[in-house]
Amino acid sequence: MSARPHAATETATATAADSADACCTGPLPVLGRDVTVPLVTGGEVSYAALDYAASAPALQRVWDDVAAYAPYYGSVHRGAGYLSQLSTDLFEQSRATVAEFLGCREGDQIVFTRSTTDSLNLLAQVVPADCQVFVFETEHHASLLPWRDAQVTYLNAPRTPAQAVDTLERALADRDPHGPALVCVTGASNVTGELWPVRELAAAAHAHGARIVLDAAQLAPHHPVSVEELDVDWVAFSGHKLYAPFGSGVLAGRADWLQAAEPYLAGGGASRTVARRADGGVDVEWHTTAARHEAGSPNVIGVYSIASACKALTEAGFDTLVAREQHLIDTVRAGLAEVPEVRVLSLFGDDAPRVGVISFVVDGWNSSHFAAALSAEYGIGVRDGLFCAHPLVRTLLGSDAQDPGECGAPEPAAPGERSLNAIRVSFGAGTPDEHVERFVGAVKELVRDGAQWKYRTEDGRCVPDRG
């Protein structure tokens, strides 16, 4: 096999330097920014992490804060020792920091969970028994699937923000019976990056007597989120997408449904008192605070890391972060537009506002093969597949529901074979210009010259053939 260096890899640093003047500030420092990876064609290159939509690297600030606290780690709540009291204070201070970051209303509860998926599954367990749930088919599976015990109406993918609002209004007006209802909607698509009209959807929901939960997993790392200004009832997000990958998430919002429901998990921490009855059973009084749904030993490090990330992003200034990210978005979209074989996936059109998440397909390429070549030959990490949003990707690719599709390489996955999946590049506050410049150059070079290496399918993944 040829081992000549790729031109895109050789010239990316110089190209990025030329473009740096276009943006007023650099990326926030993240952990792993100096990691180098081997290229199958020979040599090493700094790793271009362009899969932020799946999991973002830890901010250096977050890592430093966690490392500084770690020696003082102790059990949260009820411990008499100094480290336990310190950890409890840190845990509850973190709750207040998150509430401020989200612009919560007085009386809103901040419940710490494991992730966005966990948060929405929690909410699914506390909705009233006769609640109807309305969710667009465009949602991530974390929003699409938790409502197993509710009557669910799945709404077709809209093609404009106005159509989204109109579709929701008609569905809510036509519901029968006209009882409790909940709308679940994303703030930014994890496939297209497009921003959804959250404030307008919230107004429509409330006008028809429904509540709304915002999946902010892809929105909170890129744009400010205010529960009060958006007028949503709940918001959910994950630490690992907010530069705090330590196993915690958040559900924040109205307390009444949370207080009225049985605890999400039964156990210590959720219970206020437990006493034996004369008949041999037990009586339990559950907490009415957020602790009701936080049974077990809390993940204080994960929670503190989220609070640290909230502070870091706030101090950096979202106006500055959004402006710089828009520069990166413009760079990627302009570069992809110069390649006729590339089709960028979109619901709302080219002019729709979006975050740094872009999915595309390449004519003549299997998406898994293309992503594998980006990694092995250029040191660029992207995502390929259906992105845990199968109905949306199928709609965007124009496939029938019966068409086979997989996350990863289909069997067999010959180079050039059409695949019912796509490639996603995503970035954020920690992304250097050089990474997106290298990506654009690599896409152009792969489409023009093809891959230098041979690839094969192994355990559902397309990998370099080293045999």
Residue carrying the six token digits 């009855």: 277
Burial class (CB in 10 A: 0-12, 13-18, 19+), 70: exposed
Q: What are the structure tokens assigned to 251, written together?
A: 């559900």
The number of CA neighbours under 13 Å toward the Cβ of 435 is: 30
Closest of 190, 192, 240 to residue 215, by C-alpha: 190
Q: Please tell me whether residue 334 adopts helix, strand or coil conformation.
A: helix
Residue 27, pLDDT above cutoff 70? yes
Distance CA 356, CA 433 (A): 13
Closest of 120, 153, 161 to residue 134, by C-alpha: 153
Residue 402, pLDDT above cutoff 70? no
The number of CA neighbours under 13 Å toward the Cβ of 427 is: 30
Residue 52, pLDDT above cutoff 90? yes
Helix (H) or strand (E) holding 17: helix 7-19
pLDDT band at 419 (very low <50, low <70, confident <90, very high): low
Averaged confidence pLDDT in the chain: 92
* Percentage above 90 pLDDT, the chain: 87
* Annotated catalytic residue 388: yes
Residue carrying the six token digits 């070549």: 373
> pLDDT, tens digit, for every residue of 256-283?
999 999 999 999 999 999 999 999 999 9
Q: Please pick, among 184, 310, 388, 462, the residue that the annotation labels catalytic.
A: 388
DSSP state of 247: S
> pLDDT, tens digit, for every residue of 234-248?
999 999 999 999 999
Query: pLDDT at position 412, please?
Result: 46
Q: What are the structure tokens assigned to 125, written together?
A: 């367990």
Please state, in angstroms and as integers, the Cα–Cα distance from residue 419 to each residue in 90, 341, 385, 408, 444, following that order: 48, 15, 9, 9, 20
Give me the mean pLDDT over the 2-30 stretch: 50
Maximum distance among all Cα pairs of the chain, rounded to whole angstroms: 81
Helix (H) or strand (E) holding 337: helix 318-337
Residue 224, pLDDT above cutoff 50? yes
What string of DSSP letters covers 157-219?
PPSSHHHHHHHHHHHHHT-SS---EEEEEESB-TTT-BBP-HHHHHHHHHHTT-EEEEE-TTT
* Residue 329 and residue 358 in contact, taking contact as beta carbons nearer than 8 Å: yes
Query: pLDDT at position 418, please?
Result: 53
Distance CA 280, CA 267 (A): 19
Query: pLDDT at position 242, please?
Result: 98
Residue 11, pLDDT above cutoff 60? no
Distance CA 214, CA 235 (A): 5
- Residue 337 CB coordination number (10 Å): 11
pLDDT band at 403 (very low <50, low <70, confident <90, very high): low
Give me the mean pLDDT over the 118-146 stretch: 97
* Residue 463 and residue 387 in contact, taking contact as beta carbons nearer than 8 Å: no
Distance CA 252, CA 236 (A): 6
Alpha helices in 55-132 (DSSP H): 60-69, 82-101, 116-126
* Residue 426 and residue 51 in contact, taking contact as beta carbons nearer than 8 Å: yes
pLDDT band at 4 (very low <50, low <70, confident <90, very high): very low
Lowest mean pLDDT, pick from 168-172, 306-310, 358-362, 413-417? 413-417
Q: pTM of the predicted model, to two decimals? A: 0.91
Instruction: Tally the residues of the chain.
Output: 467
Cα 342 versus chain centre, distance: 24
Q: What are the structure tokens assigned to 417, written together?
A: 């074979």
* Residue 47 and residue 385 in contact, taking contact as beta carbons nearer than 8 Å: no
Distance CA 45, CA 450 (A): 20
Query: pLDDT at position 406, please?
Result: 53
Query: pLDDT at position 260, please?
Result: 96
DSSP state of 86: H
Query: pLDDT at position 265, please?
Result: 94
* Residue 455 and residue 372 in contact, taking contact as beta carbons nearer than 8 Å: yes
